[in-house]
């Protein structure tokens, strides 16, 4: 029986070789990697994946937007594309999806993921900002997104996520605001906010020790969205992890400090090859 098309969007760049798969965070899309992609595509086969509900990906009104569901879809996408020796990179929500995908694969005989890079990744229960709790409300969240100026919403969110010294580029504001002009995107964002930290997250986190993969944990020192204590705890619980901190940086190292964060990735990749 044929499976239904995957509600994901992906773009492949670069030369042939072992794949690097990039996953964006909550409220963003594949454009978050725009300052990494040109250099990385000279050295790797890049796959920039936009998760269900974000960017150019489909946005069905099925209310299934949890990290677990996104991990199901990513695992299917990897199998359908027959990828091996994957370097799986995830930022924020995408990091949580990458963690879950690697955890599921740790229980299988055939493993396709070779290394993990988690950039300011969600992983454990933590306080949710008031704005996010409001966005998660089924009717009011999408309504607010419809009525408020989209660029203002995104600009405010990025200023909260960035270190105060780092300017917010209008190209990111436009890239993240554009999808919110459709009702489907606003509904999907609200559903994703409501399901970010599902019940049982702490017990699930107890299984992270099973992920025996070289793992780079990359954090901004001034991250106010996913604080550094999350990276510190992951560095203790993941068997082969190391934590690296980027100074004068908030929640978006790949946008705020692209050259430094990319160099950290490249060094890690070479040392684990």
Domain 9-127+199-271 -> CATH class: alpha beta
What pLDDT digit, counting tens, does each position of 168-211 carry?
999 999 999 999 999 999 999 999 999 998 777 788 888 999 99
The stretches in the chain having pLDDT less than 50 are 1-2
Per-residue pLDDT, 197:
82
Per-residue pLDDT, 156:
96
Per-residue pLDDT, 55:
97
Residue ranges of the domains in the chain? 9-127+199-271
Distance of alpha carbon 271 from alpha carbon 141, whole angstroms:
45
């Amino acid at each position: 029986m044929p499976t239904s098309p995957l509600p994901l969007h992906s773009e492949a760049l670069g030369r042939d070789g072992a794949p690097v798969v990039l996953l964006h965070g909550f409220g963003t899309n594949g454009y978050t990697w725009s300052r990494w992609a040109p250099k990385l595509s000279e050295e790797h086969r890049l796959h920039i994946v936009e998760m269900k509900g974000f960017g150019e990906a489909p946005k069905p009104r099925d209310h299934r937007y949890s990290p677990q569901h996104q991990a199901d879809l990513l695992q299917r996408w990897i199998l359908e594309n027959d990828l091996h020796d994957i370097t799986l990179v995830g930022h924020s929500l995408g990091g949580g999806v990458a963690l879950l995908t690697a955890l599921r694969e740790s229980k299988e005989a055939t493993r396709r993921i070779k290394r993990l890079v988690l950039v300011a990744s969600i992983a454990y229960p933590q306080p949710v900002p008031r704005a996010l709790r409001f966005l998660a409300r089924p009717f009011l969240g999408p309504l607010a997104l419809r009525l408020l100026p989209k660029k203002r919403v995104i600009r405010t969110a990025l200023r909260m996520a960035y270190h105060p010294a780092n300017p917010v580029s209008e190209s990111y504001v436009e890239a993240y605001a554009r999808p919110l002009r459709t009702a489907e995107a606003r509904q999907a964002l609200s559903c994703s906010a409501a399901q970010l930290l599902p019940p049982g997250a702490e017990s699930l986190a107890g299984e992270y020790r099973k992920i025996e993969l070289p793992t780079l944990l990359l954090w901004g020192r001034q991250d106010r969205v996913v604080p550094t204590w999350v990276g510190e705890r992951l560095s203790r619980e993941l068997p082969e992890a190391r934590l690296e901190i980027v100074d004068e940086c908030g929640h978006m190292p790949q946008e705020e400090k692209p050259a430094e964060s990319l160099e950290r990735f490249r060094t890690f990749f070479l040392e684990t090859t």
